[in-house]
Amino acid sequence: MRRPQRPSSPTGDSGAPAACDDTAAHPCPGNLPAELNGFVGRESELAALARSLEESRLVTVTGMGGVGKTRLVTRAAALLEKRYCDGVWLVELSAVRDAGLLEHAVAGALGLTDQTARPPRAALVEHCAGRGLLLVLDGFEHLVDECAALVRELLRRAPRLRVLAAGRLPLELPGESVHPLATMTDEDALRLFAERAAGVCPDFRLTDRSRGPARELCRRLDGIPLALELAAGRLRALSTEQVLQRLDDRFRLLTGGGRGALDRHQTLRTAIGWSHELCSPPQRMLWARLSVFAGQFDLEAVEYVCSGPELPADSVLDVLSGLLAQSVVLREDSPVGTRYRMLDTVREYGAEWLAATGDADRLRRRHRDWFLGLATWCELDWFSPRQAEVAARVESELPNLRRAMECSLESPQEAHLAQYLAGTLWFLWVGCGRLSEGRHWLDHVLEEDTPYDASRLKALWVLGHVAVVQGDPVAAISALTECREEAEAAGDAAAAAYAVHRTGCLALVTDDMERARDLLGDALARYRELGELNSNVLMAQVELAMATGFLGDTERAAAICEEVRDICEDHGERWALSYALYVLAYAALERGRPERARRLLDESLSISHTFHDLLGTVLAVELLALVTVTEGDAAEAALLQGAADRIWPSVGLPLFGSAHYGAPRARCEELALRELGGARYAAELGAGRELGPDAAVARALAGRNAKARRLPECREGAGLSAGEERLRLDQRA
The model's pLDDT over 567-625, given as tens digits with 9 standing for 90+, comes to: 999 999 999 999 999 999 999 999 999 999 999 999 999 999 999 888 999 999 999 99
Determine the Cα angle at 248 with ends 247 and 252, to 5°. Answer: 120
DSSP code string of 653-693: SGGGG-HHHHHHHHHHHHHHHHHH-HHHHHHHHHHHHT--H
What is the model's pLDDT at position 629? Answer: 94
- In tens, the pLDDT along 295-348 reads 899 999 999 999 999 999 999 999 999 888 777 888 888 888 899 988 888 888
* pLDDT for residue 428 is more than 80: yes
Beta carbons of 635 and 684 less than 8 angstroms apart: yes
What is the model's pLDDT at position 185? Answer: 86
* pLDDT for residue 26 is more than 60: no
What is the model's pLDDT at position 729? Answer: 35
One-letter amino acid for residue 587 of the chain: A
% of residues, the chain, pLDDT over 70:
89
What is the model's pLDDT at position 732? Answer: 36
* pLDDT for residue 242 is more than 50: yes
Q: Lowest-confidence range among 12-26, 130-144, 181-195, 714-728?
A: 714-728
- In tens, the pLDDT along 530-571 reads 999 999 999 999 999 999 999 999 999 999 999 999 999 999
- In tens, the pLDDT along 436-479 reads 899 999 999 999 888 778 999 999 999 999 999 988 999 999 99
Taking CA atoms, 634 is separated from 218, 626, 645, 710, 733, in Å, by 69, 9, 17, 21, 18
**Per-residue confidence at 483, pLDDT binned at 50, 70, 90?**
very high
What is the model's pLDDT at position 715? Answer: 31
Taking CA atoms, 81 is separated from 10, 489, 535, 555, in Å, by 12, 59, 41, 53
Q: Lowest-confidence range among 111-115, 368-372, 376-380?
A: 111-115
Query: Residue 461 phi/psi, 5° resolution?
Result: -70, -30
What is the model's pLDDT at position 251? Answer: 62
Beta carbons of 135 and 87 less than 8 angstroms apart: no
Query: Residue 97: which H helix or E strand, with range?
Result: none
* pLDDT for residue 186 is more than 60: yes
- In tens, the pLDDT along 486-508 reads 999 999 999 999 999 999 999 99
What is the model's pLDDT at position 11? Answer: 40
Rounded Cα distance, 338 and 305, in Å:
18
What is the model's pLDDT at position 705? Answer: 58
Of 39 and 251, the structure prediction assigns the larger pLDDT to: 39
Average pLDDT over residues 38-67: 88
Beta carbons of 539 and 576 less than 8 angstroms apart: yes
**Per-residue confidence at 252, pLDDT binned at 50, 70, 90?**
low
What is the model's pLDDT at position 488? Answer: 94
What is the model's pLDDT at position 9? Answer: 38
What is the model's pLDDT at position 408? Answer: 94
In what order do the strands lie in the sheet containing 134-138?
88-92, 134-138, 162-167, 58-62, 176-180
Torsion of CA 441, 447, 449, 455, to 10 degrees: 20
- In tens, the pLDDT along 82-97 reads 888 888 999 999 888 8
* pLDDT for residue 702 is more than 90: no
What is the model's pLDDT at position 381? Answer: 94
**Per-residue confidence at 721, pLDDT binned at 50, 70, 90?**
very low
Neighbours of 708 (CB within 10 A): 10
Q: Which of 680, 590, 697, 597 is nearest to 640 (CA)?
A: 697
- In tens, the pLDDT along 387-402 reads 999 999 999 999 999 9
% of residues, the chain, pLDDT over 90:
54
Query: What is the residue-averaged pLDDT of the chain?
Result: 86
Q: Which of 730, 728, 702, 706 is nearest to 21 (CA)?
A: 728
Average pLDDT over residues 51-68: 88
- In tens, the pLDDT along 112-147 reads 877 777 888 888 888 888 888 899 999 888 889 999
Three-state secondary structure call for residue 10: coil
Alpha helix stretches (DSSP H) within 255-397: 264-278, 281-290, 299-306, 316-325, 344-357, 360-382, 387-396
What is the model's pLDDT at position 674? Answer: 93
Of 726 and 329, the structure prediction assigns the larger pLDDT to: 329
- End-to-end, the C-alpha distance of the chain in Å comes to 37
- In tens, the pLDDT along 263-294 reads 566 677 777 887 788 789 999 999 999 999 99
